[in-house]
Amino acid sequence: MKCLRIGIAIAIFWAVPAYGQVADRIYRGGDVVTVNDAKPFAKAVAIKDGKILAVGSDEEIAKFKDAKTEMVDLAGRALLPGFIDGHGHCFATGIQAASANLLAPPDYKVTDIPGILAELKTFAKSDTAKKYGIILGFGYDDAQLKEQRHPTRHDLDEVSKDIPVYVIHQSGHLGAANSKALEIAGINSESKNPVGGVIRREKDGKTPDGVFEETIHYQVLMKIMPAMGQSEFDGLAKAGMKLYAANGYTMAQEGRSIAPVDQSWMRLAEKKEMLIDVASYPDISANENPFGLDGKWYSKKMMGGYRIAGVKISLDGSPQGKTAYLSQPYFIPPHGSPSNFRGYAAMLDQDVDRKVALCYEKGWQFIAHCNGDAASDLMIGAVKDAQQKFGPGKDRRDVMIHCQTVREDQLDMMKEYGIIPSMFGMHCFYWGDWHRDSVLGAARAERISPARSALRRGMIFSQHHDSPVALPSAIRILSSVVTRRTRSGDILGADQCIPVDVAIKSLTLWAAYQHYEEANRGSIEVGKLADFVVLDKNPHSIPIEKLADLTVLQTIKDGKTIYTAP
């Protein structure tokens, strides 16, 4: 009788999955890419209360099923961890979504200045343009235009002379205005170039031609943008999250925030209206006491899907716009510049040193925009000085954003000082030909975004899209860093290609580590958030030439589907 009771007890025990744990949902029937080196692939995943309950074979996961468990058939598709934004601007992505689309193929169709003007004239008829009294375009790229130049005020005056017209370069570092916008911004022949910025001039050397670089570009844009209320700001933030989610991202970065933007994220978090998680980095390039760092939102823990994670410093500009700060001259300098032109820093050397030292003194994580290797020298030198003064700090994860032209000796120093590279590897596709033929020349262009060099050193790194500089497409990043194919089909620096598994890590687990989030997300492991992306195919099972054709079919956040492809 005693043996019978023991037998019944054992039977009941095994009938109740994992000490009574029953899955809300089980995903099976496809390939599970876990990004967990201990178990790289699985066949099924069980989730409960928004977290991962179990990962394994169909037989193992069947133990967590009862009559109420929802069974999801992946139908041969691939389930991966949700993508994590190594660097981007989620709010500005919303602005891009609300502006005239000026992107070149394959993202859109603009190939010349008449194409820009046509898109702007169409946008001028929109409710948005009529409501706010501005015609705004985003994403033109002089490197892809037939004319190989920026539109000027004279071009944009053809769209309107009565209301401001402003177009933002795809890099986000330059812009062009019509005459009305110049008038509103107070820019004329007497206006001086600010530190870290350039007002481009006409042949007389005085009259502004409408094109602005760097700091003056941001200043002009702020002056001509219409006043917006809380609902408009929140709407732009939501539009940015929606586009991120459609590309498989479950965590975004607000990579250079200002107070009104952070206030919008805070409102949405308080109201539980965050679609995905957002980590924000307020800008201290101009303000060393930014909004939000003295309150509850500065935290390593997400609150309602949002937190302030650290601060941002911008040290130079854009290589495709030829404003990045290089140690060697540009291959072909910008029009009107001398042959030894190397770009320029966004701030004085002593300001860089002071801001980095402040981050160490306050214990702030910081991310620093460094496209040119001369800018990278500024960051590395400032970190070295700060560590000598304050010590290396406990588990500091300072990040060099972009690392486009970072040298081998600089990677050695970055490893020594614990600086994490976040690389802009999709430049190989979008601007690789331009870098080779105009910006850097063949030799330097071959090793832009040198991910393989970092990998050889055993460094953790992330990859990013810098949206809205490019669409927030992890698929385009994946294809670019594995193949290093340019728009023309050239392979730009084959020895800097990285394997598929490493590329996926740079978009998931290593990006999570960069944000101090590796315990919560970035891989499909028990206890982590049920943040997933479903792709039509397993990236490991297709030729690398087909990676760019992968499709995001579904995005799942905390176990809930937030995007399904049409």
Same structural domain for residues 98 and 175? yes
Residue 57 inside a domain? The answer is yes
Same structural domain for residues 10 and 105? no
CATH at residue 38: 2.30.40.10
- The residue behind tokens 């089980």 is 26
Residue 273 inside a domain? The answer is no
Same structural domain for residues 13 and 58? yes
Mean of the pLDDT values across residues 270-285?
Answer: 97
Q: In a 3-state reduction of DSSP, which class is residue 248?
A: coil
- Give the C-alpha separation, 194 to 220, whole Å: 12
Q: Look at the chain and report how many structural domains it folds into.
A: 2
Mean of the pLDDT values across residues 179-201?
Answer: 94
Q: Per this entry, what is the length of the chain?
A: 566
Instruction: Please state, rounded to an integer, the average pLDDT across all residues of the chain.
Output: 94
pLDDT value of position 247: 98
Last residue of a domain, one of 27, 47, 76: 76
CATH at residue 212: 3.10.310.70
Residue 139 inside a domain? The answer is yes
pLDDT value of position 20: 62
- pLDDT tens, residue by residue, 283-334: 999 899 999 999 999 999 999 999 999 999 999 999 998 999 999 999 999 9
Residue 295 inside a domain? The answer is no
Question: Which of 555, 560, 553 lies closest to 242 in space, CA to CA?
Answer: 555
pLDDT value of position 220: 94
Q: Is the pLDDT of residue 370 over 90?
A: yes
Would you give the end-to-end CA distance of the chain in angstroms? 61
pLDDT value of position 218: 87
- Give the C-alpha separation, 262 to 245, whole Å: 20
Same structural domain for residues 128 and 44? no
Which of the residue ranges 45-49, 151-155, 215-219, 442-446 would you say has the lowest mean pLDDT? 215-219
Last residue of a domain, one of 192, 224, 256: 224
Whether the CB-CB separation of 480 and 494 falls below 8 Å is answered with no
Is the peptide bond prior to 282 cis by the omega test (within 30 degrees of 0)? Answer: no
pLDDT band at 18 (very low <50, low <70, confident <90, very high): very low
Last residue of a domain, one of 182, 204, 224: 224
Residue 483 inside a domain? The answer is no
Exposed, middle or buried, 203 (CB in 10 Å: 0-12/13-18/19+)?
Answer: exposed
Same structural domain for residues 100 and 48? no
pLDDT value of position 12: 32
pLDDT band at 226 (very low <50, low <70, confident <90, very high): confident
Question: Which of 148, 294, 151, 166 lies closest to 220 in space, CA to CA?
Answer: 166
Same structural domain for residues 49 and 134? no
pTM of the entire predicted model? 0.89
Mean of the pLDDT values across residues 473-495?
Answer: 97
Mean of the pLDDT values across residues 458-470?
Answer: 96
Same structural domain for residues 48 and 102? no
Mean of the pLDDT values across residues 399-416?
Answer: 98
Determine which helix (DSSP H) or strand (DSSP E) holds 130, and give its type and residue range: helix 127-132
Residue 388 inside a domain? The answer is no
Mean of the pLDDT values across residues 73-77?
Answer: 98
Which of the residue ranges 19-28, 467-476, 509-518 would you say has the lowest mean pLDDT? 19-28
Q: Left if phi > 0, otherwise alpha if psi is -120 to 50, otherwise beta: which for 98?
A: alpha
Same structural domain for residues 220 and 177? yes
Whether the CB-CB separation of 137 and 168 falls below 8 Å is answered with yes
pLDDT value of position 5: 40
Percent of the chain with pLDDT over 70: 96
Task: List CB contacts of 168: < 8 A, sequence separation 6 or more.
Answer: 99, 136, 137, 138, 139, 140, 174, 175, 221
- Give the C-alpha separation, 384 to 414, whole Å: 10
Bridge-based pairing state of the strands 311-314 and 366-370 = parallel
pLDDT value of position 9: 35
Residue 280 inside a domain? The answer is no
Cα of 298 vs its chain's centroid, Å: 20
- Give the C-alpha separation, 291 to 284, whole Å: 10
* Domain of residue 129, residue span: 90-224
pLDDT value of position 431: 94
Q: Is the pLDDT of residue 4 over 90?
A: no
Same structural domain for residues 110 and 41? no
- Give the C-alpha separation, 288 to 353, whole Å: 13
Residue 318 inside a domain? The answer is no
Question: Which of 200, 204, 110, 115 lies closest to 153 in space, CA to CA?
Answer: 200
Q: In a 3-state reduction of DSSP, which class is residue 411?
A: helix
Same structural domain for residues 100 and 54? no
- Give the C-alpha separation, 296 to 277, whole Å: 16
Same structural domain for residues 107 and 42? no
pLDDT value of position 102: 96
Mean of the pLDDT values across residues 138-153?
Answer: 94
pLDDT value of position 206: 95
- pLDDT tens, residue by residue, 524-536: 999 999 999 999 9
- Give the C-alpha separation, 51 to 47, whole Å: 5
Same structural domain for residues 202 and 109? yes
Which of the residue ranges 335-344, 442-451, 476-485 would you say has the lowest mean pLDDT? 335-344
Q: Is the pLDDT of residue 507 over 70?
A: yes
**Tokens matching residue 263:** 């206030």
Alpha helices (H) along 425-473: 427-430, 432-434, 442-445, 451-456
